[in-house]
Amino acid sequence: MMQRVYTGPIDAYYSKQGWPALEYRSLDFERKVALNTKFFQPNSVVNHPSSENDFTRIVEYKHFLNQASPHTVYYVERSTDGGEPYYPVPNKRNKDLFAKYQNMADNEDGVHFVGRLANYKYFNMDEAILNALELFDKISSTSTSSES
């Protein structure tokens, strides 16, 4: 049997069945340029988890590659209800609804759900990679044992 991998929002996969959508938080990105500034901030990512700011973090990519430039570009991230889905909203309604989607996904032949959106769960990058590698191992061992 052909194996497929789905990495999109799990509710979008089942949207034709008429079930309600899960809620997601999204991000707006504002690009800013600081002329004649070696670095805008001391690190590549600085989180701002305070109600005093209307943004959640600032990312200055110049730090990642230690680039040499008299100017710098950084992005201010703001959380929003609309837009691309990034983060699950972990309230009771969404947890209960996801459990129904998860049950359907567990019984979906030949389709594997992987990643943040398909699992309706926030993953750090290392966790996202581990999720994908574990799925690969599972699919590989299943296909190897069925060929024997």
User: CATH number for the 4-23+89-147 domain, one of 3.40.50.300, 3.20.20.450, 3.60.15.10, 3.40.50.720?
Assistant: 3.40.50.720
> What's the pLDDT score for residue 145?
56
* Ranges of H-type helices in 3-124: 10-13, 92-106, 116-119
Give the C-alpha separation, 113 to 131, whole Å.
Answer: 10
The percent of residues above 70 in pLDDT, for the chain, comes to 95
Tokens of 24: 């997601």
pTM of the predicted protein model:
0.74
Above 70 in pLDDT, residue 146? no
Query: Higher-confidence residue: 137 or 36?
Result: 36
Q: Which band of pLDDT confidence, cut at 50, 70 and 90, is reported for residue 12?
A: very high
Residues 41 and 78 sit within 8 Å (Cβ to Cβ): no
Among 7, 11, 8, 9, CA closest to 19: 11
The CATH 3.40.50.720 domain(s) of the chain lie at 4-23+89-147
